[in-house]
Amino acid sequence: MTAEYRVESGVAVVTLNNPPVNGLNHATRQGIVEAVTKANQDDAVRAIVITGGSKIFSGGADIREFNTPRMSQAPHLGNVIEVLESSAKPVVAAVSGTAMGGGLELAMGCHYRVAAAQAQIALPEVKLGLLPGAGGTQRLPRLVGLEAALNMIVSGDAVPAKKLAGTKLFDEVLEGDPLPAAIALAGKVAGAEKHPRARDIRIDFPEAEGYLGWARMTVAATAPQYPAPLRCVDAVTAAVTDKFDAALKKEFAYFHELSVTPESRALRHAFFAERAAQNIPDVPADTPIREIKLAAVIGAGTMGGGIAMNFVNAGIPVKLLEMKQEALDRGLATIRKNYENTAKKGRITQEQVEERMGLLQPTMSYDDIADADIVIEAVFERFDVKEQVFQTLDKVMKQGAILATNTSTLDVDRIAAVTARPQDVIGTHFFSPANVMKLLEVVRGEKTAKDVLATVMKLAKKLKKTAVVSGVCDGFIGNRMVEQYTRQAGFMLEEGATPAQVDGAIERFGFAMGPFRMSDLAGNDIGYDIRQRRYQERPDMHYGKLADYLIEKFDRKGQKVGKGWYDYKPGDRKAIPSAEVEQLIVDYRKEVGTTPRKISDAEIVQRLVFSLVNEACHILEEGIALRASDIDVVYLTGYGFPAYRGGPMQYANEFGLYNVMQAMESFARNPHADPAFWQPAPLLRRLVAEGKNFE
C-alpha cells in the first residue's frame, strides 16, 4: 500500500507510504486517487486529510521511476490534483518534514494546508534544468505572492514553512506533528459549502508585467547558459497574463520543451551520477563501518589545514601534528584567519569560531594522536618523507585506525607496503582549497579492506564531500586526465594560439578557468617538477618545452611571483597578456619550425575536451574508475567543468562518439600533431563500432 486509508472521527486520513521520501510514483499517485474517491463515497467521512507521516510529506517525483514508462503513465500528478481540487469533501494537507517539487504541488492542490514550522518547502525542478510541471508555477504565486514564488521557483532553494506563515499557502504553521491540527481543521471546515482552491485566487501585484520584465532580464544575465530559469519566469508570467487553464497548458509545454534540452539532460545526468558514484560493486551497502569519533592530520600546510577544517566543521575533533612549532603555529593561524573571515561575512558567529578552534588540538608528538580513529597524512610530496611518517604511524596508532594519505602522485600501494597493516591504508585525495572543494578522490589500494573503503565513503558524506573511488595510478582519475589536457593546450601555443585565446575559448565553453590561468594559480613550478619526473619515466611521451622555458629562462612561476603565462599586478588576480611570453612563444615556434596558423575556438575546445575523454577511456579500461559517470562527477566537482554540459563523458555522448573519433582522426592528420596522442583508445573504438555511448 502506497497510500493507506483510515477513518478517524469522521475524517479520512490518507497516509502516503512510499519510503524513503514518499516519492510520487505511479502506485502512489493511483493510491491517492483511489483513497480520495473512496472517501467521497464513504458516508462515514466528512473530510479528508493527506499526510506523509510525521517525518516527511513528500519529496516529489520518485527518482527510481525516472526514465521508465511508468513515469508518464496516468494518473499523472496533474490528474491527481484535479481529483483533489474537485473533491466535494474538503482535503487538508498535513505537511511535515519536506514538501518538495511534486510534493508541494500536491499540497497546493489540497483545499487547506497545515505545516510543521521546520518543514522544508521547495520547487527545486530548476536545479535539474526543468520547471514544476503540475501547476507549481501557477499555484505558488497565488498562494505566497508573485515575488516570493518567483524567487523560490527560479532558485529552487528550500524555505522553512515558518517563513511562509501568514501567506495563503498555510492555514496554520505549528511546532511538532501537524496531523492532529489538520484533522481538527478538517472537522471544522467539513460542513462548508465551498472550499478554497488555489486556482481561484487572483494574483494581486501592481505593475506585475513590469516587475516580470525586470526579473526576466536579471535571470537572463545571471544564468545565460541555462534555459530553465527563463522558462520559469515565462511560466510565472503566464500566471499573471493568462487564464488559469491556458497558463497551465503553457507550463506543461515549457516542461516538455525543457526536458529534452541538453542542459537538462546534463543536470539530470549529474544528479544520478553523484548517486551512482556511491555504489561500489563488491562493497555492499550494508558493509559494517568503523566508527570515526576522533581524527588526526599530519602536516599543517596548505592541504593539512583545510583537511582539518573539514573535520572541525562536521563536529569531529582533530589533532594536528607538525614537526616544528613554527609550522604548527603558522598552520593554526591560517585556520583561525579562515574562520575569522567567514565570521566577518556573517556566516558564523565569533562564538562558533572559538568553538571550532576548540576542536583542534595541536601537537608535535605522535603519542598524542595514537587514539585517533583516522589519521590523514598531508606532508611533503616525497616518498622518503611519507615512508617515515607511515612507519611511525604503524608503530603508534591503535589497532583498527585508518591510515590515509593525501598524496597526489605517489603510489598508495607502495606507501601501504611500508606498514604491517596495508589493509588499513587508503588514499584520500582532497582538492585545494580542501575546506571548500567538494571533490574527494578515495583511492583504493590493492589491499585496502572493504570496511575501510566503506567507512571513508560514509565519512566523506559527513564531511560534505562528493567521494569518487579511484584505483591506484599516477594522478588518479582527475590529474591523470588533466595532464593530457595541459599537454594539448601547450601544443596549441606552438601551432599559433596565445594563452589568452586558449583560456578564452574554454572559458566561453563554460570552464571556470582555462589551463594557463589555472597553471598560474597553482604555480607553474609544480607542473615543471612533474614533467622533469615524466622525462625520466616516460621518454616516449612528447612534451613541448615552452612551459619548461617559462621557468628556466624567465622564472615565471605564476601568480605567487606576479608573472607566469600572464602578468599580474600586485594583489590582483587579473591575468594580463604578457609581451615577454608572447616573444617566448614566437621564438619557440622558430626553434621547432612551425608556421603559426589561426586555430578556431571550436578546435581549441574539442582538442582540450577530447584529450580528457581519450585518457578517461584508458582509465576505464584499466579499471581505475568504476564507471564513465564517475569521471563526470570528478570533473564537475573538482575541475570546474560546466554543470550544464554534464562532464566530459556526457559531453562526448551528446557530441556523438562517432563524431568524437572523427575529430580525433582529423587532429592526428595535423602535420604538427603527435600522432600517438590522437590514437583513439580501444574502448572508444569499440563503443563506436557497437553504436553505444558511455554509461
Catalytic center residues: 105, 125
Instruction: Determine the Cα–Cα distance for residues 509 and 646; give it in Å rounded to an integer.
Output: 12
**Buried/exposed 662-673: b ≥16 CB within 10 Å, e otherwise:** ebbeebeebeeb
Cα torsion angle, 584, 586, 587, 590, sign: positive
Per CB under 6 A, which of residues 562..581 are in contact with ligand NAI?
A: none
CB of 529 to ligand NAI, least distance (A): 11
CB of residue 487 to ligand NAI, shortest distance in Å: 19
Binding positions for ligand NAI, 324-343, rule CB under 6 A: 327
Q: Given the rule CB under 6 A, which of 37-45, 137-145, 322-330, 343-351 is the region that contacts ligand NAI?
A: 322-330
379 lies in the site for ligand NAI, by CB under 6 A: yes
Based on CB atoms, which residue is closest to ligand NAI, 510 or 523?
A: 523
Size of the site for ligand NAI (CB under 6 A): 24
Is residue 616 exposed (0-12), middle (13-18) or buried (19+ Cβ within 10 Å)? buried
Report d(CA 671, CA 686) in Å as an integer.
27
Maximum distance among all Cα pairs of the chain, rounded to whole angstroms: 94
* Binders in 525-544 for ligand NAI, by CB under 6 A: none
Among 432, 670, 679, 693, binds ligand NAI (CB under 6 A): 432
Q: At what angle do helices 601-621 and 682-690 cross, to 10 degrees?
A: 100
What is the C-alpha to C-alpha distance for residues 35 and 643, in angstroms, rounded to an integer?
41
Window 247-306: residues binding ligand NAI (CB under 6 A): 298-304
Q: Please pick, from the candidates 274, 322, 373, 441, the single residue that binds ligand NAI as defined by CB under 6 A.
A: 322
Of the pair 212, 456, the CB lying nearest ligand NAI is at 456
Q: Nearest approach, Cβ of 379 to ligand NAI (angstroms)?
A: 4
Contacting residue, 381, 387, 411, 525, with ligand NAI by CB under 6 A: 381
For residues 513 and 511, give the distance between their C-alpha atoms in angstroms, rounded to a whole number. 5
Cα end-to-end span (Å), the chain: 34
Is the CB of 380 or the CB of 658 nearer to ligand NAI? Answer: 380
DSSP state for residue 466 in the 8-state scheme: E
Residue nearest ligand NAI, CB atom distance: 301
Give the shortest CB-311-to-ligand NAI separation in angstroms: 16
Query: What is the C-alpha separation between 459 and 314, in angstroms, rounded?
Result: 10
Q: Which residues contact 402 (CB under 8 A, 6 or more apart)?
A: 290, 292, 373, 374, 375, 424, 426, 452, 455, 456
Tell me if 58 contacts ligand NAI by CB under 6 A. no
Smallest distance from ligand NAI to CB 304, Å: 6
Nearest-CA neighbor of 489 among 361, 646, 608? Answer: 608
Q: Considering beta carbons, is residue 134 or 393 the nearer one to ligand NAI?
A: 393
Query: Interacting stretch for ligand NAI, rule CB under 6 A, among 97-105, 122-130, 320-328, 414-422?
Result: 320-328
385 binds ligand NAI (CB under 6 A): yes
Q: Angle, nearest 10°, between helix axes 601-621 and 648-655?
A: 110
Among residues 150, 378, 477, 643, which is the contact residue for ligand NAI, using CB under 6 A? 378
Q: Which of 93, 96, 91 is nearest to 56 (CA)?
A: 96
Closest contact distance (angstroms) between CB of 364 and ligand NAI is 8
Beta strands 439-443 and 374-377, pairing class = unpaired
| Cα–Cα distance for residue pair 683/621, rounded to 1 Å | 7
Q: Is 320 helix (H, G, I), strand (E, B) or coil?
A: strand
Shortest CA distance to 657 belongs to which of 684, 675, 627, 618? 684
Name which of 250, 192, 201, 171 is nearest 46 in CA terms.
Answer: 192
Least distance (Å) from ligand NAI to the CB of residue 321?
Answer: 6
Q: Is 483 in the site for ligand NAI (CB under 6 A)?
A: no
Binding mask 195-234 for ligand NAI (x = CB under 6 A): ----------------------------------------
Contact mark string toward ligand NAI, 395..414, x via CB under 6 A? -----------xxx------
Q: How far is the CB of 312 from ligand NAI (least distance, A)?
A: 17
Least Å distance between CB 492 and ligand NAI?
25
Of the candidates 284, 315, 325, 380, which one interacts with ligand NAI according to CB under 6 A?
Answer: 380
Residue found under cell 555522448: 653
Per-residue buried b or exposed e for 393-407, using 16+ beta carbons within 10 Å of the residue's own CB? bbebbeeebbbbbbb
Q: Which residues lie across from 6 on neighbouring strands?
A: 13
- DSSP H helices in 242-349: 244-259, 262-276, 302-313, 325-344
Binding of residue 647 to ligand NAI (CB under 6 A): no
- Tell me the closest approach of the beta carbon of residue 295 to ligand NAI, in angstroms: 15
For ligand NAI, the binding residues (CB under 6 A) are 298-304, 321-323, 327, 378-381, 385, 389, 406-408, 429-432
